[in-house]
Structure 1
Amino acid sequence: MANRDDVLSDFIVEEEISPEVLGTYLRRHPEYTKDLLALFNELTMSELEATDASLPFETKAMTAEALRVQHVRQSLFGHGIKDLARELGLPRTFFLGLNTNVVHLGSVPVEFLKNLPAKLDVRLHDLINGMQQGDGQTVAMKSDNKPGAEAPIEFRDYVGQADLAEEEQRALRKLLADDGSN
């Protein structure tokens, strides 16, 4: 059995600290799993902090915006959709279609565009950018025609096709309600 300190020292001096290298060490030395994971986390966090410190201010601002847009995309189309759907009382499938390939952005009610960013804790601009990027794929809709480059549909038509239950319709009305702020 290898010495803990020797294993950790060898890990530190690896040419590249990557998840693949970590996996190799974890398979070889499962008895040091906690130590290796802690060291990997510390090394990668230090690397991120050093990279962030060296970025010019403009790049940091662009990175922050990109992260907010990524948050929108993950919340509407990715792993965060389950939590968002549960919190807002709407089906996950409803959010999957909220990209500009499916729904015409100009038809989305202003109240919805004001309330949804507040729920996601992002700016309206970030929500719109996230909707424009979508999930990278369009949502399948039942159709009598062959698939093609279809024009986005109006929001009210999308809602009509969503086949929402009464409780889900009430939840959507909450998002469409004007909260009185401008």
Structure 2
Amino acid sequence: MTEKTLRELSHQVGEALGHLGATITTAESCTGGWIAKVITDVSGSSAWFERGFVTYSNDAKHQMIGVDSGTLETHGAVSEAVVREMAQGALYAAGADYAVAVSGIAGPNGGSEEKPVGTVWFGFASKAEGTIARQQLFEGDRDTVRRKSTEYALQTLWEEFLKNKLDTV
């Protein structure tokens, strides 16, 4: 994966959102705002991106985008339940059409047998199409896990939501 790939994906996503007249928000934990960064690297992105949430701590997830404390306690921050609530909460808080959420263990510390380093959960929410969640296990150092997570988020947003929507317009 290269910077070119991230640039190409962010341009592709941006062009689709612009064509659809739609907006996107992000709720990021392990990526630390990297998805929002590559989206806003595209000139004109203010037309489809108003805000992102870097919710690194559990308190931030709860306070900024309404993730239920009980969900965090029961499932842990790196879980399907939490990224679903992150995506839905960001969608609501930003008033956007689409939301991407990510929470994972980038390493090198923090992993367990159940959730090893490289475990990343993604949530994708759409006002029209609902919410989906996906899990990935990425190999590599912290930077690689974060970069792969950013690429996966943009690619999945494109494939699961935007590509088909463009075909119907």
Please indicate the TM-score interval, normalised by the length of the shorter structure.
Answer: under 0.3
- Return the index of the structure with the highest Cα Rg: 1
> TM-score scaled by structure 1?
0.22
> TM-score scaled by structure 2?
0.23
More helix by share: 1
